[in-house]
């Protein structure tokens, strides 16, 4: 079974803190993605990576950065957390072509106080 | 810009009744189409997908969807709802060309199944 794991299910941070969300996949997929999920808005793409050290901005990259030093690991960084970044964060990975499915992790529910 | 519209943010059906979740997309070129399901406190899981070929696509758990190019629709159906089908369902488009790494998600439809 494909496994995408995320470092935390629930996280509570304070405004201004630096936050790291980690994602690991075990299927040797080239592509990895970070989304945030908010009620009524579906999923919105923050960043994606198509190879080690390669990244591209998604639809809502402001306030976020990413790191991909190893193929299996993709990190999302909130440099200075703000209350409007309270959300569910989902990581996904995909091998090969666009018609292949994305495999999702269980999500991290982040609350910024 | 391409978009996905799911009609009805909440749908409620009785156990054993037909499930119909509606999805329309806007695209000049037929994209790849997916339905994902999200059970409470879990990530998304693929139900089914359409890429090319047969327009009626069968997925897991008895769900199916039909791609209708003339209507730009990809509605999801299941003949008989089960309590375990209660979840949120997302219709998703993957552009056929350009920006191929980006999925476009509908806002989601939350399905409730009552006894």
Note down pLDDT in tens along chain A; length 113 residues.
Answer: 668 999 999 999 999 999 999 999 999 999 999 999 998 888 999 999 999 999 999 989 999 999 999 999 999 999 999 999 999 999 999 987 767 788 999 999 999 99
**Per-residue confidence (pLDDT) for residue B97, from 0 to 100:** 56
Tokens for B43?
């990530």
Lowest mean pLDDT among A71-75, B24-28, B67-71: B24-28
Mean pLDDT score of chain B: 90
Given this model, what pLDDT does residue B106 score?
Answer: 92
CA dist., res. A99 & res. B72, Å (int): 18
Query: Which residues in chain A have their CB less than 8 angstroms from residue B106's CB?
Result: 42
Contacts of A67 (CB under 8 A, 6+ apart): A74, A75, A77
- The values of phi and psi at residue A109, to 5°, are -90, 110
Which one of B44, B46, B50 makes the best mutation probe of the A interface by having the most chain A beta carbons within 10 Å?
Answer: B44
Contacts of B102 in chain A (CB under 8 A): 45, 48, 58-59
Q: Which of B113, B112, B109, B114 has the alpha carbon at shortest distance from B36?
A: B109
Kind plus residue range of the DSSP H or E element containing B66: strand B64-68
pLDDT at B102 over 90: no
Residues of B in contact with A48 (CB under 8 A): 101-102
Alpha carbons within 13 angstroms on the beta-carbon side of residue B25 total: 28
């Amino acid at each position: 079974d494909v496994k995408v794991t995320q470092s935390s299910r629930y996280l509570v941070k304070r405004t201004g803190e630096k936050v790291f969300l980690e994602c690991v996949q075990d299927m040797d997929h080239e592509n990895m993605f970070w989304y945030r999920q908010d009620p009524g808005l579906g999923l919105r793409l923050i960043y994606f990576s198509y190879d080690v050290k390669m990244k591209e901005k998604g639809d809502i990259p402001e306030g976020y950065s990413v790191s991909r030093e190893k193929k299996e690991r993709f990190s999302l960084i909130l440099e200075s957390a703000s209350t409007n970044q309270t959300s569910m964060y989902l990581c996904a990975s995909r091998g090969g072509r666009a018609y292949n499915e994305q495999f999702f992790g269980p999500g991290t529910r982040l609350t910024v106080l | 810009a391409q978009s996905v519209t799911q009609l009805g943010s909440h749908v409620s059906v009785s156990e054993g009744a037909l499930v119909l979740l509606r999805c329309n997309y806007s695209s000049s070129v037929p994209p790849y189409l997916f339905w994902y399901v999200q059970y409470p406190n879990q990530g998304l899981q693929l139900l089914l997908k359409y890429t090319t070929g047969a327009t009626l696509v069968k997925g897991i758990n008895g769900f199916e969807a039909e791609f209708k190019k003339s209507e730009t629709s990809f509605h999801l159906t299941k003949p008989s709802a089960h309590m375990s089908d209660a979840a949120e369902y997302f219709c998703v488009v993957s552009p056929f060309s350009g920006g191929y790494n980006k999925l476009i998600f509908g806002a989601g439809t939350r399905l409730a199944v009552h006894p």
